[in-house]
Amino acid sequence: DIQMTQSPSSVSASVGDRVTITCRASQGVSSWLAWYQQKPGKAPKLLIYATSILQGGVPSRFSGSGSGTDFTLTISSLQPEDSGTYYCQQANSFPYTFGQGTELAIK
C-alpha cells in the first residue's frame, strides 16, 4: 500500500499569511493526488484534484503543486474560514490512501 505522510500535523497562522502543507507518498503516484478540507461535524470537501486543478467554487487562494512523491497545498492569503483539517489522498493505485491530516488553526 502507498503511505501518505503530511506535514506539519498542525499549524497555526494569522489571517493574510501564506500557509503550505506538504504531502509525501511512499512511492510515486504520478499526478493522482487530491486535497480535501474538513470542518468539524462536516463531510470532507474536495479542494484540488489531479495535483493542481481547482475544484469548481474553491477560492483561487488555494493551489496545489508537485509530482511523483512530493506534493504541496498552498493557501496564499489565509482567511478565517480556512480553519479546519486538510487531507491529501492518492488515487494512483488501490487501495486509495489518505494522509493523516493537518489541522489548521487561525491565530
Partner 1 sequence: EVQLVESGGGLAQPGGSLRLSCAASGFIFSTYNMNWVRQAPGKGLQWISYIGSATNDIYYANSVRGRFTVSRDNAKNSLYLQMSSLRDEDTALYYCATYSSGSLDHWGQGTLVTVSS
| C-alpha dist (Å) from residue 19 to 12, 62, 94, 103 | 9, 10, 30, 12
Beta bridge partners of 62: 75
> Which of these ranges, 12-20, 48-56, 60-68, 76-84, lies near partner 1 under the rule CB under 8 A?
48-56
Shortest gap between Cβ of 23 and partner 1 (angstroms)? 13
- Please list, in sequence order, all residues whose beta carbon lies within 8 angstroms of the beta carbon of residue 93, skipping any fewer than 6 positions away: 2, 29
Residue 10 CB neighbours (<10 A): 10
Scanning 13-21, 67-75, 76-84, 87-95 for contacts with partner 1 by CB under 8 A, the matching segment is: 87-95
With binding defined as CB under 8 A, does residue 49 bind partner 1?
yes
Angle made by CA atoms 22, 25, 28, in degrees to the nearest 5 = 125
Q: With binding defined as CB under 8 A, does residue 55 bind partner 1?
A: yes
Of residues 64, 66, 84, 99, which one binds partner 1 by CB under 8 A? 99
> Please, are residues 66 and 76 in contact by the beta-carbon 8 Å criterion?
no
Among 14, 60, 94, 107, binds partner 1 (CB under 8 A): 94
Q: Please tell me whether residue 71 binds partner 1 under the rule CB under 8 A.
A: no
Q: Which residue stretch of 17-25, 27-35, 57-65, 75-83 sits at the interface with partner 1 (rule: CB under 8 A)?
A: 27-35
